[in-house]
Structure 1
Amino acid sequence: MRNRGATIIIENGRIALIKRTKPHKTYYVFPGGGIEDGETPEEAAIRETYEELGVHVRIQRPFKILEYNGRQHFFLADIIGGKFGTGTGEEYFHTSVQRGLYEPIWIDMADLPSLDVRPKVIVELLLAK
């Protein structure tokens, strides 16, 4: 179990996600990853978002903490720099059939209910607002 920090970035009615494609399965996740020693959840979310999406973000506020395979911290965030889709995280260079493909993508908020976005509870909370 590893604690994680993740961002929720919404701009112009679209949300930034990572499309995960594995054999016989496609789903979407929020940018983020494990909290390293000495890091706060916010710092991990900022670092991981840059590694995965290629953008610098500013945290607006905490959104939700989920207990699932550790504590998962979700933060609403704004892009303040960088270029979307230029992430340099290891997931882009150390690919395998098991890990699958990672693709930064903008999704219309209206399309969220029809997609397999994980964790689903975050989508439900976003759409309830």
Structure 2
Amino acid sequence: MRIRSVAVVVRDERVLVIERRKDGRSYCVLPGGGVEAGEDLRAACRRELLEETGRDGHVGDLLDVPVESDTPAVYFTVRVSSAELSLGGPELQRASERNEYAPTWIAATSLDDVHLVPAEAVQAVRLVLRATSPSSEPLR
């Protein structure tokens, strides 16, 4: 089982997600994927972000989110310089009418209205939102 490296991107009070529609189910995930042999966690996070959204980013802090043993993942804060998105990489090749991937920005205020999975992803986003709110201290 490979560990996943996941990007938490918040920009202009919006969160970057991948809307998924697969076999009749609709949900959202954060950009990320499996770490390849010999690849470090931050490099994997950056590569996955680029493949899934067309955006390069600066990978920052590792977020303090519990690691789920069934699907181990690490979450990083990531800054991007542009909001423009485009799907690429393996997801573009796997996309079909029954398996859709759509990188998109959602309002941070609508986090509770989208089906973001897994629960650790929601926790990671909330940590970043808390850290970027005007009344909070910056992440260390």
Q: TM-score range by the shorter chain?
A: 0.7 to 0.9
CA distance in 2, matches of 1:26, 1:68: 24
Distance 2:24 2:115 in 1: 13
Rounded to whole Å, the distance in 2 between the matches of 1:65 and 1:40 is 19
1:73 partner amino acid:
V
CA shift for structure 1 position 92: 1.2
For residues 44-72 of structure 1, what are the alpha-carbon distances to aligned partners after superposition, in whole Å with 9 as ceiling and x for unaligned?
00001000000111012001352243420
Match of 1:2 in 2: 2
What code does the residue aligned with 2:15 have?
A: I
Gaps of 5+ in 2: 131-140
In structure 1, the residue matched to 2:125 is: 126
2:108 aligned partner: 109
Q: Which moved more, 1:63-72 or 1:4-13?
A: 63-72
Identify, as 1 or 2, the structure richer in strand: 1
Distance in 1, Cα, partners of 2:109 & 2:12: 12
Aligned equivalents of 1:68 and 1:29: distance in 2? 18
Q: How does 1:37-56 map to 2 (within 5 A)?
A: 37-56=37-56
Aligned residues: 127
Flag as ranges the 4+ runs of structure 1 deviating above 3 A.
124-128
Alpha-carbon deviation of 1:114? 1.6
* 3-state SS of 1:91 partner: helix
Partner of 2:76: 75
Structure 1 residues 95 and 126, CA gap change in structure 2 (3 angstroms): closer
- Identity, % of aligned positions: 27
- 1:67 to 1:80, Cα distance in 2 relative to 1, 3 A: same
Report if the CA contact (8 A) 1:23-1:97 is conserved.
no
- TM-score computed with the length of structure 1 as normaliser: 0.87
> Which ranges of structure 1 fall in alignment gaps of 5 or more residues?
none
Equivalent position SS for 2:94: coil
Query: What is the letter of the counterpart of residue 53 of structure 1?
Result: T
2:3/2:73 contact within 8 Å kept: yes
Give the partner amino acid of 2:113: S
